[in-house]
Amino acid sequence: MVSLIRRCSGTCTYGWVVVFASFLALFAMYGVQYTYGVFQQQYQDIYRGRATTTGLAFIGSVSFAALGLFGLFTGRLGDWLGYRVTMSIGTLLMCLALLLASWASEVWHLYLTQGLMFGLGTSFAFYPVVSAPARWFDRRRGFVTGIAMSGSGLGGMALAPITRKLIDVVGVAWTLRCLAAVAEQAIDVQDVDATTVSAPVGSRQWLWTRIKHPAFLGLWITNIFGSLGYLVPFYYIPSYAASVGYSKTDGAMLVGIMNGASALGRIGLGWAADYVGRINMYVGSVAAGGLVCLAIWLPSTGMAPLVVFSLLYGMFMGGFAALTPVVITVVFGMDGLSTIIGMIFASSGVSNLIGSPIAGAILDATKEQHGYMLLILYAGIMVLCGAIMAALLVRQKMTRHWLVRI
């Protein structure tokens, strides 16, 4: 396949091949990661009496947190060692993590495998994969990055119901082994992305110049708040659906819808961002994601409004995920892109670590009296705070004129 690709004529043609390769890699790695909400629901039965909702939510949070926190290290390695090496390391870690998790007998085993090790693997692979498409396009950068990152949403949409069915048929252990085979597919496309030439990493002065940029802190704070609430609906919509009378299959379907809509949002909002402004769309998508939590999820008990919420939340927060690296290119340019993306995404590490467990603690403390109301308020308010920070600390630092495309 790689030899055929190398015979493609024209930079633009090969650029689209890189976009497709990134799509496939993100489909595999994020598709597996986004299914954790299905596993969490099952773990609540397996470890009943031995683990709280908060403790089980911590497993998925550790995975997403590791992706961000290790970005300070793995993003820089992507520019230094090259994309092929870091992607290979990441894929091997992801596969090993899922295989080891299939033999877990205690919750702490899952923390180390499905949580920490899998998250570290995605961190090694993610930054080269997400950086590669942006290097081949300028005018359509938001659109092509959205296409590549839609792989994560489509992966979650496809794998969530499949995972639910596999658990019912073959059990948790064999489901994890099957997903290890899916994660292994990321290594089959690494040669395509790895041929992308990276700019030099840069000196300490180069790094310090970027850290001192007025929008750097703004992107950090935006990601901190946005990430505190971002994953809560993905993890808790299955158990919420069960609490209002729907089946586990219905809950898994809602996760799939949310992930599918996330894919559409990444493409559609990425395309729109190229016309209305990438930072403008970034701020708007985060704000809309918070609003639909409060306006639609909070009062919903029927399946129809839950489907509408899943569609809208997935779409708008898909824009948040896809446009973050695009906004980084607007602010910092293309030099050492994997390093800069890793530095910014590190800000979401702690938030991803504590965001869903905080929601779980809120639920454990208030469920008997208030149901899921305070959990939903927490998710919506955190995401809205992220939008406010993006408007005040990122967009306004770039320009104080509100009616311009940026």
Q: Residue 16 is encoded by which pair of tokens?
A: 């689209």
Q: Residue 63 is encoded by which pair of tokens?
A: 């995975």
Q: Residue 62 is encoded by which pair of tokens?
A: 């550790």
Q: How many domains does the chain have?
A: 1
Question: Tokens 């690494």 map to which residue?
Answer: 190
Q: 281, 370 in Cβ contact below 8 A? A: no
Q: Does residue 1 lie within any of the structural domains? A: no
DSSP code of 50?
A: T
Give the whole-angstrom CA distance, residue 283 versus residue 184.
35
Query: Burial, 178: exposed, middle or buried (Cβ in 10 Å; 0-12, 13-18, 19+)?
Result: middle
CATH number of 362's domain = 1.20.1250.20
Q: 403, 256 in Cβ contact below 8 A? A: no
Q: Does residue 34 lie within any of the structural domains? A: yes
Give the whole-angstrom CA distance, residue 333 versus residue 78.
17
pLDDT truncated to tens, each residue of the chain (406 aa)?
344 334 444 455 777 888 888 888 888 888 888 788 788 878 888 888 888 877 887 888 788 888 888 988 888 887 777 777 888 888 899 999 999 999 998 899 999 999 999 999 999 988 888 878 877 777 778 888 888 888 877 887 788 788 888 998 999 999 999 999 887 765 555 555 555 545 455 566 767 777 888 788 889 999 999 999 998 998 899 889 999 999 878 888 898 788 788 888 989 998 998 888 888 999 999 999 999 999 999 999 899 999 999 999 999 998 898 898 888 888 887 777 788 888 888 888 888 778 888 898 899 899 989 999 999 999 999 999 999 999 888 887 776 666 566 6
At 103, give phi and psi (nearest 5°): -105, 10
pLDDT at 4: 36
Q: 215, 395 in Cβ contact below 8 A? A: no
Q: Please, what is the end-to-end C-alpha distance for the chain in angstroms?
A: 38
pLDDT at 169: 92
Give the whole-angstrom CA distance, residue 220 versus residue 239.
31
Q: Does residue 405 lie within any of the structural domains? A: no
Q: Does residue 371 lie within any of the structural domains? A: yes
Q: Does residue 67 lie within any of the structural domains? A: yes
Q: Does residue 406 lie within any of the structural domains? A: no
pLDDT at 7: 40
The CA-based dihedral angle spanning residues 81, 85, 91, 95, taken in that order and rounded to the nearest 10 degrees: -110
Q: Does residue 361 lie within any of the structural domains? A: yes
Tell me which residue range forms the domain holding 347: 7-398
pLDDT at 16: 83
Q: Residue 309 is encoded by which pair of tokens?
A: 């919420």
pLDDT at 348: 82
Angle at 196 between CA 193 and CA 197, to 5 degrees: 150
